[in-house]
Amino acid sequence: MVIHGSSGCYFYPATLLHNDLHSTFLVEQEVIFGTSERLVELVKDLSLTYNKVAVVNSCVPSVLGEDIRDILSEFNIIFVDSPGFTGDFESGYLGAVKALPVCMGQGAERVNIEGINLIDPFARGNQREAERLLQQMGVPIGTIFCQDSYQSLGSTAGFSVTVNPDLSTGYGHELGSLLGLSSIRKTVHALADRFCDAEIGGIENEIFMVEERIIKAADKYLKRYDPPSVAIFSTFSYSGFAAATLKKYLDADIVFCGSRNDPLTPCTDTVTITSLAIIESAIRDHAPDLVLGSTFERSVAGKASFVGLTPPIRGEFRLSSKPLAGTEGELSFMEDVLNACMNYQQRKPAK
């Protein structure tokens, strides 16, 4: 994977992905005289080691108007045109997926897993939870977008489930989401309608037990404290999941619900917001008990409690594969919220 751009275009994703990335590290000389020589040199060297090289175009070469495909015509590359001014992260992710050589129809009796992206702090956990639920049902798994082998693209299944609806690729007929218990119920039944041998009794019982555990813990909290006021800042699907879950189990007052990307459907409850100054103003004006978001939101959250919901999440160790999707994701999310709220209440000065 080559990021064709300056050092800043490389180091930020490198700190989030912790993956094998390379960069052309463009400087003033390439901006003036062109980037082709540096790019060809790097791709040629990498082609000796890797079977496939992907080149991600960034702002500088895009503004220069260079034809990257023509420059690298002697190499069999995957080209992703993704300068920052073309849209948000989700747009870039889906653009990269569309650049992949996907072959449909070879895995009609399997189900793809969608919505995995490596900057998401819940990516590994979401993947494992989705795999667990499908295996429990006896449903064969197809391609995992995007944490799979290059070869798997040649036999992508005709059906998909997602752990993050913001990142639905369109490859395969969408059977539903695994984000939130109500969505899991619908998706399980959709899978059972399509796969006659699918066993759903175990998952239905698991959903019931998970809901009972959450209700019991939430009631215990509410017997001691008032429902929390909450400000949420994440991507549209994650923000909606968090708001619905907290309203249902904690009767939370969602004082602000912000989305980094545009809503998939018109939504009066969610505001598209990407300015830290506006985020800080919203937190100051509403003075929530709990803030959900990233390290950026935590930096302006003041004395409110905080739960990480979206990248980047820095300043803490995250070693386990914690999910947000699936039944385990629901339990993990509510556990983090209840502990954060409890800690906030214990820190509050006595009246």
> Interhelix angle for 201-222 vs 123-137, to 10°?
130
pLDDT at 179: 98
pLDDT band at 131 (very low <50, low <70, confident <90, very high): very high
Taking alpha carbons only, the member of 144, 133, 138, 146 closest to residue 323 is: 133
* CATH level 3 topology of 104-200: Rossmann fold (3.40.50)
**CA-based R_g, the chain, Å:** 22
Residue 210 contacts residue 330 (beta carbons within 8 Å)? yes
Class for the domain spanning 2-86 = alpha beta
pLDDT at 17: 85
pLDDT band at 20 (very low <50, low <70, confident <90, very high): confident
Taking alpha carbons only, the member of 271, 270, 297, 265 closest to residue 284 is: 297
The residue-averaged pLDDT of 253-260 equals: 95
* pLDDT over 60 (residue 107): no
CATH 3.40.50.1980 corresponds to the domain 207-347:
yes
* pLDDT over 70 (residue 75): yes
The residue-averaged pLDDT of 210-223 equals: 98
Tokens of 156: 């992508």
Residue 131 contacts residue 141 (beta carbons within 8 Å)? yes
Domain positions in the chain are 2-86, 104-200, 207-347
Residue 300 contacts residue 280 (beta carbons within 8 Å)? yes
